[in-house]
Structure 1
Amino acid sequence: MAIFRQLSLGAKAALAAGTVFVSMVVSRSYLAESLEFRAWRCLFRLQLALFANSLMLLGSIYIWRSTISNLRHSPAAESACFQLWKMIVVAFLALAHSSFFTMIFLVAEEPYLFSLVAYTCLGAYVIMLCFLCVLSGMEQACQLLAWRAGRAVGSLDKTRKLALRPALVVVVTTVLSVVGLLNAAQPPAVTTVEVPMHRLHSSMNTLKIVLLSDIHLGPTVGRTKMDMFVRMVNTLEPDVTVIVGDLCDSEASVLRTAVAPLGQLRSRLGTYFVTGNHEYYTSDVSNWFALLMSLNVQPLHNENVRISATGAHSEDDDWICLAGVDDIEANILHYTGHGMDLEKALEGCSPDHPTILLAHQPLAAKRALQARPDINLILSGHTHAGQIFPLNVAAYLLNPFFAGLYQVAESTFVYVSPGTAYYGIPMRLGSRAEITQLILRPAP
């Protein structure tokens, strides 16, 4: 205990994050079988929120020191304005930290105002933390260059510098947050992409597939947005609509009315769904499958269907094999009865007919192509194209495919959707939500 007291606040936060992470591993590995399922599900989601908050605490300490602690010796530190500023920063950080708990306790048909405010603060938190790090790096670089040149750094006195830094951070964070909010509030862009496909029968020429992904029904996305997405899709008059995961962030019973507009989707040859990692975070996949089937949305649970110009499940020669795999997160979480099984998903698909695979994560797409390079087209999501800067950079570096159309081989393509909505934070900065209209054409 004495050693723990001597640790810095940052070290304590890191230790807390590690402790929560270990508890998550223990609950997943050892408690899943012994606890009642509903109790275990609540425990796991609470652990996720605590883990995220433990990591955020490190950033919050840095923000507090940069905007408050470094000013405590300035003449204005005792003023009423400074005390008000401290309360604003405390409220801002508290709201940002509370955002993950709204995922558990404040989910309904439409978003609660508190959830929207909390997640907006979380987005501003990410932007502010990034800008502070960049600013600090620039200051260190300037000091190093000045030291090597043998001259003094800057003309402003230290007190003015300390006051200028948080003011600059607040202005930049506010401007970028407003831009991100306005961008995310727009309807998703409709992007049309033509994909040449080998072995495509002439009767399937111009077959239209509409791709949705990463809608994230939950604390900040509700029925109103879902209804808008459905109306936009119906306007496109798709032959097939596919939803490649991360449809939801809570249990089916909670979001039943929010997802109901999916039942109004009009796709001539059917609507299909595969799981994303967030479906497994809800620990309610079986109920989601049942709910989606009641809305005429067919989950592809490591399975496939035959799509022809006249209808699904065709035995004619002019068909496409549309396959779907479970998200690879199911393997990591040891989710019972689930996990990516490419061999099972492609069972019955013929090398003489085009194959389209639905796989939520680009990493799963890469693994699928390594095992079966004869797949013609893989449709993925997951990356959100980073959603907000600077997460764009991380998403680009961590995924083999980032966003848009990739030609992997002469007859193989991967398309990664940047997402139809957003996850939690109601912002888009450096990315745009999208509904993708894919037009299939015979390859020359």
Structure 2
Amino acid sequence: MSAFKKLSLELKVALAAAAVLFSMVVSRTYLIDNIESVTRMRLFRVQFLVLVNVLMLIGSLYIWKRTVVFKSSQAAQSCCLSVWKLCVLLFLTLAHCSFFTLILLVGEEPYLFAQVAYTCLGAYVILLFWLFVLGCLEQCHRLLLRGRVTKTAMLNGRNVSKVTLAVAVTVVLTVIGLLNGSRPPAITRVEIPVHRLPKSFDNMKMVLISDIHLGPTVGKTKLEVIVKMVNNLKPDVIVIVGDLVDSQVVNLKSAVEPLKDLKSNLGTYFVTGNHEYYTVDVDNWFKHLQSLNIHPLHNENAKIFSTTSINDWICLAGVDDIEAAVLRYPGHGMNLEKALNGCSQSDVIVLLAHQPRAAKWALETRPDISLVLSGHTHGGQMFPLTIGAYLMNPFFAGLYKVGESSYVYVTTGTIYYGIPMRLASRSEIVEIILQSH
């Protein structure tokens, strides 16, 4: 116990994070058969939220030390310093509260507290990044000086300048991000040559939406705008490629009502994203979406027949998100063989798979797939999260050609997840035009 007390606060937090992660592994590995599935998923969700907040504590301690502690060492406590401390503490507290609004504050329209908390989370990410970058530059500068400048006043002066610059950049980027995030999605038109596409399907219009994330910061009003924009495109087929919702049906039943107004000549289809499984309510969502005339593709496919030739059709297939298997969600998990059952190699196959990794695996298994439509990455949504999204996905954003005749399109998402901001990315609704090749 005495040895534990001597550890630094950061190391204690890291050990706490490791303990939470260990409990998640234990509950998923050894308690899997002894806990009812819904209870298990809810336990995992709570564990995940605790893990995220414990990991955030490390960043919060870093921000606190860089923005508050060094100031306290410069001079006696002052009224301004006390106010600054209070502001930083409130800012960090709100950022930590953001994820818990997923459980506590979800309704037809976003709650103000949830919007403020998630905005603080976005600013938290930006501030942490710039404090770290400027800190690294400061260390490099000190190494170059090799100890020639050691005056405390000069070092403290640099610290003040560094913190001021980091805070100023954070404020500016937060405002820009909020303005960009509030803009309606762009309409992105993509023409894709499809091998073996029947002439009767030439110029067929498929509208792709994804990553709407109805929940704490996205509600009915924003969804109504999306539905109106999609209908104005007069699509033949509408596809929703996952992460539509972030909560249970009972919380969002009213918010998703605008989806019943979606209009397409040949149907509207949906596949799950990882966030649908986080809701622990996928089967109820399937039933509710069907009542809104949206057809879930649960490792299955639908034949889309031409309106001008009854002998022409394409195979529209959809797979469950790959994270269903990681979470051991009962009855769910990516099953490409089942999804493509009845789709031959001579058919035009369009596959809906939420994550780009699933798109890569699918094309490795079935290179005859003509087109895979994915989302998930948000185009990074906001810098610096862009870096992680780019490195962790085989396809990041936009159109990719794979092999001789296969394509992958990864949308940047139709709205955003949680943080109501966009930096170095833009929300989009994708108008895909299939062309015979």
Say if 1:45 and 1:104, in contact at 8 Å, map to a contact too: no
Gaps of 5+ in 1: none
Cα distance between partner residues in 1 of 2:153 and 2:190? 54
Say if 1:386 and 1:393, in contact at 8 Å, map to a contact too: yes
Cα deviation per residue 1:394-443 (whole Å; 9 max; x = unaligned)? 11111000000001122100000000011110000010001000000011
1:36 deviation in Å?
4.6
Equivalent in 420, 423, 431 of residue 425 of structure 2? 431
Could you tell me which residue of structure 2 aligns to residue 125 of structure 1? 124
SS of match in other structure, 2:360: helix
Could you tell me which residue of structure 1 aligns to residue 275 of structure 2? 278
1:234-245 equivalence runs, <5 A: 234-245=231-242
SS of match in other structure, 2:42: helix
Cα distance between partner residues in 2 of 1:69 and 1:155? 15
Equivalent in 328, 332, 350 of residue 334 of structure 1? 328
SS of match in other structure, 2:216: coil
Cα distance between partner residues in 2 of 1:104 and 1:32? 23
Paired residue total: 437
Matched to 2:106, the amino acid is: V
Cα deviation per residue 1:124-177 (whole Å; 9 max; x = unaligned)? 000000001110111112222233xx8548997123222222211111100000
Could you tell me which residue of structure 2 aligns to residue 28 of structure 1? 28
Cα distance between partner residues in 2 of 1:186 and 1:283? 31
1:37 deviation in Å?
4.8
1:352-371 equivalence runs, <5 A: 352-371=346-365
1:23 deviation in Å?
1.7
Could you tell me which residue of structure 2 aligns to residue 194 of structure 1? 191
Could you tell me which residue of structure 2 aligns to residue 137 of structure 1? 136
Could you tell me which residue of structure 1 aligns to residue 107 of structure 2? 108
Does residue 1:171 correspond to 2:168, yes or no?
Answer: yes
Q: CA RMSD in A?
A: 1.7
Cα distance between partner residues in 1 of 2:131 and 2:295? 46
Could you tell me which residue of structure 1 aligns to residue 376 of structure 2? 382
1:242 deviation in Å?
0.4
Could you tell me which residue of structure 2 aligns to residue 396 of structure 1? 390
Does residue 1:410 correspond to 2:404, yes or no?
Answer: yes
Cα distance between partner residues in 2 of 1:286 and 1:261? 20
1:256–1:380 CA distance, 2 compared to 1 (3 A): same
Cα distance between partner residues in 1 of 2:250 and 2:105? 14
Say if 2:204 and 2:435, in contact at 8 Å, map to a contact too: yes
SS of match in other structure, 1:96: helix
Cα distance between partner residues in 1 of 2:115 and 2:27? 30
Cα distance between partner residues in 2 of 1:43 and 1:406? 38
Could you tell me which residue of structure 2 aligns to residue 257 of structure 1? 254
Cα distance between partner residues in 2 of 1:290 and 1:4? 51
Cα distance between partner residues in 2 of 1:154 and 1:220? 48
1:293-308 equivalence runs, <5 A: 293-308=290-305
Say if 1:107 and 1:218, in contact at 8 Å, map to a contact too: yes
Matched to 2:391, the amino acid is: L
SS of match in other structure, 1:230: helix
SS of match in other structure, 1:437: strand
SS of match in other structure, 1:68: helix
Between 230-239 and 161-170, the greater mean CA deviation after superposition: 161-170
Matched to 1:103, the amino acid is: L
Does residue 1:206 correspond to 2:203, yes or no?
Answer: yes
Does residue 1:96 correspond to 2:90, yes or no?
Answer: no
Cα distance between partner residues in 2 of 1:154 and 1:358? 61
Cα distance between partner residues in 1 of 2:217 and 2:436? 41
Gaps of 5+ in 2: none
1:283 deviation in Å?
1.2
Could you tell me which residue of structure 1 aligns to residue 367 of structure 2? 373
Does residue 1:346 correspond to 2:345, yes or no?
Answer: no
SS of match in other structure, 2:22: helix
Cα distance between partner residues in 2 of 1:170 and 1:439? 45
Matched to 1:68, the amino acid is: V
1:434–1:30 CA distance, 2 compared to 1 (3 A): same
Cα deviation per residue 1:59-98 (whole Å; 9 max; x = unaligned)? 00100000011112212x4110000000000000000000
Cα distance between partner residues in 2 of 1:271 and 1:33? 37
Say if 1:324 and 1:345, in contact at 8 Å, map to a contact too: yes
Could you tell me which residue of structure 1 aligns to residue 316 of structure 2? 322
The TM-score, its normalising length taken from structure 1, stands at 0.95
1:414–1:41 CA distance, 2 compared to 1 (3 A): same
Cα distance between partner residues in 2 of 1:134 and 1:247? 35
Could you tell me which residue of structure 2 aligns to residue 72 of structure 1? 72
1:372 deviation in Å?
0.6
The TM-score, its normalising length taken from structure 2, stands at 0.97
SS of match in other structure, 1:13: helix
Say if 2:241 and 2:271, in contact at 8 Å, map to a contact too: yes
1:209–1:156 CA distance, 2 compared to 1 (3 A): farther
1:52-63 equivalence runs, <5 A: 52-63=52-63
1:325–1:47 CA distance, 2 compared to 1 (3 A): same
Could you tell me which residue of structure 1 aligns to residue 307 of structure 2? 310
Equivalent in 213, 218, 228 of residue 216 of structure 1? 213
